[in-house]
Amino acid sequence: MKDAAPQPVRLSEYTPFPFVVEQVDLRFTLAGAETRVHSKIRFAPNPAAERAGEIFLHGKELELISARIDGAEVSPVITARGLTCPVPSGAFTWEAEVRIDPTTNTSLDGLYTSGGMYCTQCEAEGFRKITFYPDRPDVMAPFRVQIDSDMPVRLSNGNMVEEGVWDDPWPKPAYLFALVAGDLRNFPGEFKTMSGKDVELNIWVRPGDEARAEYAMDALKRSMAWDEEVYGREYDLQIFNIVAVDDFNMGAMENKGLNIFNSKYVLASPETATDTDYDFIEGIIAHEYFHNWTGNRITCRDWFQLCLKEGLTVFRDQQFSSDMRGAAVKRITEVMQLRARQFREDQGPLAHPVRPEEYIEINNFYTATVYEKGAEVIHMLKALVGDEGYAKALDLYFERHDGDAATIEDWLKVFEDATGRDLSQFSRWYSQAGTPRLTVEEHFKDGTLTLDFKQETKPTPGQAQKQPQVIPIAVGLIGPNGNEVAETRVLEMNKSEQSFEFTGLSAMPVASILRNFSAPVVLDRKLDIASRAFLLAHDTDPFNRWEAGRVLGKEVLTQMITEGAAPAPDLLTGLSRVVADDSLEPAYRALMLGLPSEDDLAQTLFDSGHVPDPAAIHAARDALQDAMAAEMEPILASLYEQMETPAPYSPDAEAAGKRSLRGACLGLLSRRDGCARAKALFEAADNMTEELAALAVLIRHGQGEAAVQAFYDKWRHDRLVMDKWFMLQVVQSSPETMAETVKSLTEHADFDWKNPNRFRSVLGGMQANPAGFHRADGAAYRLYADWLLKLDPVNPQTTARMTTAFETWARYDADRQQMMREQLERIAALPGLSENTGEMVGRILG
Ligand code: BES
Ligand code: ZN
């Protein structure tokens, strides 16, 4: 018999839980397949809800051994979702014992084992796989946990009462529960909080990895200090533990007092980690730490409010990284990522609001829209109310909602109350999906510049009509001699069409519009090549200066693809000047040398009425890079020498910036020097950033065979480095043979496909090679789908996330569309397909 179609959960149907939980006591007996969980939970009627004569507790894949209410045995009705049991009218104590098997839990959700250690992942709904419980974020309770096990290290949330016994005084939802037990070593540290309390810090790793936790520890201390300085938020327990685990579906998790990390975002040494790895470690350590206030002390009422904690915490980690590493470079990389992930999502069948209104599987809604657009919405809010208004609103938020499970309405209300602003129209950013397209026309007459703006958002699934949104548009003006004649002013657009004037100008300026990317919109502006080149040379807003080069690059590439045009000289000379300008930071100049991605170009072509040809896009980018290399060879060659960083390696932003410019130069120079520099660098490099940059170039130019083998021999025992080895071969493979490369890598003895990092390295690598993925014969589509079919029964969460490789099918020609749909339908037809993947595939097919 076929299962009933899964029913969506709806925001409009929220009701409070009829009980409050006063105390949770858990006792774990960790014994492999015979693991037992004993729970004792004190319930009382919830005064804010209707009285109930029975209780429903979530539970999944649990074997109930015994259940008691106030000491008397009970026999609840058990289904696949949980249990229901009659209860007394007042407060009562529920006691249960269940058996679970962490050793066969390959979903990495709930309690599982990884490399001999026990660990948990409970967000969003994993706690119900540990014991029967009201597994919803608005049920908050203090937890006490006892871990019986022969493992030397036993950890849970809160403060340690005695060996293996933990007490967390702060009421928390079950999704923040965590437990770890294993043979682990710690990298210790300490922190004195602003009120003078000492906090013990530990980063727990596998034996032998201790030395690689130093940078993460340093990032943690800086995060703690930053949150005190900038937000006035102090840590609230005596101890803070971080554990690194090799098998993990996500990046990291903010469990109260016990963050659990994918080892890739903790462990780093100069020889094994790249500058990008260091950057991510810093940002993710900060992110999870910042959740202690934005997520844990104030949590979400229900999962529709996910952006309340994730959007805000991303915004906070972005502010932190910006303070640590430089605002301009950070903003540019944020926007590149937003466009690559969130705009892509918003333009396709998976488009949804920052606060979705229904879901089948909540794990499918940890999306770029919730996270990154969620952060952009706060960025706009801050621009609209000003820095002081923002600080006041945040203080009020922490004061008013500490200990609450809150909503987006609560969040917006603190801004209204703190600043007196009406945010009813602004709130559409949370409910309306899609990326607004902002069109602008410019007129200059009698010393007045008029900007006529129009905003339009295309229909998205389930939302045919769109209302105008509040769009903060930061604008500055550059005079003919290249000086700024009007400083940045934030125009507030709130109608479909609206004009703004700049008066008293002595000559026609060039407007710099949407400075620092003041709103997550697509700006549609007809501007001649000369004016773009002018902004590239003179814009005083570093983001828009970069953007001018990027738009120019996109226009040039579009003309090359659609008209067979030659690379425009304005772009080449404009870029050379910026790249040679020593007054600009190296990291910024490196970004200038980057071109719009193949995926971005495919979407741009589609938006302008063309059918993108992935091979032609790839060829055009190649041709433009050849032209850049030819035009700039002398500058690149001298920069390559100048940007050499002295040993010993340091991961700081300045040194990393030099290496990124050097790497960009290397990439282009290899088109001229037969890879001579890359070969030399591969031999000489004493750090992973340069070793990998050199290897990438060699593979890309078909000269990587020996280096690939040498790299393998050197690093075969290091899992994190081997992930890079696998990925690079896929990403840098020539598009024609990528599918074959992937096939042979999946047959490699080290391809441990049940490990999410390894799986993502190879299969996820395919997405980073669009011309290879979209190969005309569909071989890559088939291969990709084969592997999703194989992974789904083992790890539905990771499978479901990876279906997004197909979310852009509607952009392409009829043949490709049909081939992609065929693969999606094949996946949909898998008997026993997970709800996770089923929901995604269904939405992508539309
Ligand atoms: N709360 C999430 C982890 C999570 C995500 C749990 C999805 C369950 C389902 C955590 O705070 C997070 O957002 N992690 C990100 C990294 C972060 C820096 C954006 C991740 O894991 O990708
Ligand atoms: Zn988060």
Given the structure tokens 């290249």, which residue do they identify? 482
- Alpha helices, DSSP H only, in 275-305? 275-290
Mean pLDDT of the chain: 98
pLDDT at 2 (0 to 100): 44
pLDDT at 3 (0 to 100): 56
Q: What letter does residue 294 receive in the DSSP assignment?
A: B
Q: pLDDT digits over 496-548, tens only?
A: 999 999 999 999 999 999 999 999 999 999 999 999 999 999 999 999 999 99
CA 747 to chain centre: 30
Q: Are 713 and 747 in contact (CB under 8 A)?
A: no
Instruction: Determine the residue of 366, 372, 760 to mutate for testing ligand 1's pocket, defined as the one with the most ligand atoms within 8 A of the Cβ atom.
Output: 366
Report the chain's terminal Cα–Cα distance, integer Å.
25
Q: Which ligand is nearest to the CA of 366?
A: 1
Checking if the pLDDT of 46 tops 70, the result is yes
Spell out the residues 6+ positions from residue 162 whose beta carbon is closer than 8 angstroms to its own: none
Q: 690 catalytic, yes or no?
A: no
Q: pLDDT digits over 211-248, tens only?
A: 999 999 999 999 999 999 999 999 999 999 999 999 99
The pTM assigned to this predicted structure is: 0.99
- Looking at the chain, the whole-number percentage of residues with pLDDT higher than 70 is 100
Residue 55, strand partner residues: 85
Q: What letter does residue 173 receive in the DSSP assignment?
A: -
Residue at 761: amino acid letter: S
Q: Are 719 and 730 in contact (CB under 8 A)?
A: no
Ligand 1 proximity of 361 Cβ (cutoff 6 Å): no
What does residue 567 show for φ and ψ, rounded to 5 degrees? -55, 130
Ligand 1 proximity of 366 Cβ (cutoff 6 Å): yes
Ligand 1 atom closest to the CA of 254, numbered from 1: 11
Measured in Å, residue 256 CA sits from the centre of ligand 2 at 13
Give the SS3 label for residue 28.
strand
CA angle 751, 754, 757 (to 5 degrees): 75
CA atoms within 13 A on the CB side of 7: 5
- Rg of the chain's alpha carbons, rounded to an integer? 27
Measured in Å, residue 251 CA sits from the centre of ligand 2 at 9
Instruction: Determine the residue of 253, 359, 797 to mutate for testing ligand 1's pocket, defined as the one with the most ligand atoms within 8 A of the Cβ atom.
Output: 253
Tokens found for residue 599: 């995926």
Measured in Å, residue 252 CA sits from the centre of ligand 1 at 5
Measured in residues, the chain has a length of 846
Per-residue burial over 635-670, b = 16 or more CB atoms within 10 Å of its CB, e = otherwise = ebbebbeebebeeebebebebbbbbbbbbbbbbbbb
Q: What letter does residue 298 receive in the DSSP assignment?
A: B
Q: pLDDT digits over 737-756, tens only?
A: 999 999 999 999 999 999 99
Measured in Å, residue 28 CA sits from the centre of ligand 1 at 26
Measured in Å, residue 335 CA sits from the centre of ligand 1 at 19
Q: pLDDT digits over 386-412, tens only?
A: 999 999 999 999 999 999 999 999 999
Ligand 1 proximity of 253 Cβ (cutoff 6 Å): yes
Cis? peptide before 124, omega within 30° of 0: yes
* 6 — pLDDT class (breaks 50, 70, 90): confident
Which of 123, 125, 288, 585 does the annotation list as catalytic?
A: 288
Ligand 1 atom closest to the CA of 363, numbered from 1: 9
Tokens found for residue 359: 């879901």
Q: pLDDT digits over 62-109, tens only?
A: 999 999 999 999 999 999 999 999 999 999 999 999 999 999 999 999
Residues 197-224, mean pLDDT to the nearest whole number:
98
pLDDT at 555 (0 to 100): 97
Checking if the pLDDT of 374 tops 60, the result is yes
Nearest Cα neighbor of 246 from 233, 221, 268, 264 is 264
Ligand 1 proximity of 124 Cβ (cutoff 6 Å): yes
Ligand 1 proximity of 123 Cβ (cutoff 6 Å): yes
Residues 747-772, mean pLDDT to the nearest whole number:
98
Given the structure tokens 């042979």, which residue do they identify? 744
Measured in Å, residue 310 CA sits from the centre of ligand 2 at 5
Residues 704-720, mean pLDDT to the nearest whole number:
98
Q: pLDDT digits over 255-297, tens only?
A: 999 999 999 999 999 999 999 999 999 999 999 999 999 999 9
Ligand 1 proximity of 284 Cβ (cutoff 6 Å): yes
Checking if the pLDDT of 1 tops 50, the result is no
Q: Are strands 437-445 and 522-525 parallel, antiparallel or unpaired?
A: parallel
Checking if the pLDDT of 5 tops 90, the result is no
Q: Whose CA is nearest to atom 10 of ligand 1?
A: 253
